[in-house]
Amino acid sequence: MANLVLYRKYRPQTFAEITGQEHVVQTIKNAISLGAISHAYIFSGPRGSGKTTIARLLAKAANCRERKPRNFEPCNKCSSCLEIMGTRSLDFIEIDAASHRGIDEIRELRDGVKFAPVKEKYKVFVIDECHQLTKEAANALLKTLEEPPNHAIFILATTEIHKMISTIISRCQRFDFRKLNLAEITSRLEFISDRENSRFEKSALELIALNSGGSIRDAESLLDQVLAFAGDLGKDREIKIKDIKELLGIADVEIIGKFVDLLREKNAAGALKLLQDIFEKGYDPQEFSKALIRYLRQVLILKISMDSVNPILIGLAKEDQEKMKAQVEKFSQKEIQTALNLFLDVENKTKYSSIPQLPLELATVDFINPKE
């Protein structure tokens, strides 16, 4: 177990362990306990939100040999559960449509569907990234979905439901998964870091959650990196928000905040000096430009919708958000847009410039002293 990446090691093995997605979980639990499982489902939603996890739970619960009537949790001990968990069940077929897009694969699947399950009650087919099937393959799949045998359960998963043909969608019971919010992701990270016996400042875990884009999988991968890095710090040390910033390269936020202040104050000398100082310290101008653009974009979002900003979108710790808010008030929207346009060009120019920081310096001067 020790070498497993966290997101595999902590794939929930019961419905109780799923974070969020309450509407999906509740409906599926009811269907299982009532013995009213559909033959075709479509799970749509962002990556890392639990689609594959819930598909496997559904498959396990449907075939579990020890599940009591009116219960919905799989036992995770019987041969059927264990085979699905070890992905060696002959009656649980996962197809990745991103790499198996064609008609041949779907024909093969269609032929396979006709045969009764080898050992279990149901044959469960999970087709991941289903929107990537070719048109022909999608039509062949539709035929199968029109008259599925009683022993078959199809679960189609997709991150891009708008690319699926509507005739397939209408054959399936549809569930829309959503991005997880900050509190949900943070609590999942707390659970895992506890199990891993590592100590975190609460705001440190929050910062990881903030940088996950609403995907638990991505949050868990970040946590993996942090733990690997913390191993070098010494086992018992509490991991602080400062450590996370350093690791994720968010340390820039403070420097960039200062730089943006100088821009706003039209302090050309100060801004150029700051650039010079940090490049002497070994900062990469291209990385700095990227981080600056990200920062200015967040400033723009905050400017336009001060109240309705989603912290996940912003990806900043609370204290940094507060600082940014104060900064935003002193900026006009026009100024922010001008700065974004100027620095957007820099990113490309830096690649080709023989003096890598020159495009940044020029844009700085241009912003502070606009051309006539």
Q: Does 52 bind ligand ADP (CB under 6 A)?
A: yes
Pick the closer one to Mg ion by CB: 162 or 281.
162
Q: Figure out which of the listed residues 15, 21, 106, 172 binds ligand ADP, where binding follows CB under 6 A.
A: 21
CA–CA dist 4, 164 (Å, integer): 34
Q: Which stretch binds Zn ion (CB under 5 A): 38-46, 67-75, 208-216, 257-265?
A: 67-75
Look up tokens 């020029």; give the residue.
362
Six-digit token string for 161 = 């439901």
- Give the whole-angstrom CA distance, residue 115 versus residue 339: 63
Residue with tokens 């900050």: 182
Closest by alpha carbon to 46, among 13, 18, 21?
21
| DSSP track, 200-265 | B-HHHHHHHHHTTTT-HHHHHHHHHHHHHHHHTT-TTSPBPHHHHHHHHTTTHHHHHHHHHHHHHT
Residue 295 in the binding site for ligand ADP (CB under 6 A): no
Q: How far is the CB of 18 from ligand ADP (least distance, A)?
A: 5
Residue 40, H or E segment? strand 40-44
- Using CB under 6 A as the binding rule, whether residue 217 contacts ligand ADP is answered as yes
Site for ligand ADP in 31-50 (CB under 6 A): 47-50
- From residue 5 to residue 44, the character string flagging contacts with Mg ion as x (rule: CB under 5 A) and all else as - is ----------------------------------------
**In the complex, minimum distance from the CB of residue 50 to ligand ADP, in angstroms, rounded to a whole number:** 3
Give the one entry of Mg ion, Zn ion, ligand ADP, none that residue 81 binds, where binding means its C-beta sits below a cut-off of 5 to 8 angstroms depending on kind: Zn ion
Measure the CA angle with vertex 95, ends 89 and 101; round to 5°.
Answer: 160
Partner from Mg ion, Zn ion, ligand ADP, none binding residue 19, C-beta < 5-8 Å depending on class: ligand ADP
Nearest alpha-carbon partner for 60 in 156, 126, 146 = 126
Does residue 52 bind Mg ion (CB under 5 A)?
A: yes
Q: Is 190 or 366 the residue whose CB approaches ligand ADP more closely?
A: 190
Residue numbers at the binding site for Mg ion (CB under 5 A): 51-52
Residue numbers at the binding site for ligand ADP (CB under 6 A): 7-8, 10-12, 18-21, 47-53, 157, 188, 216-217, 220
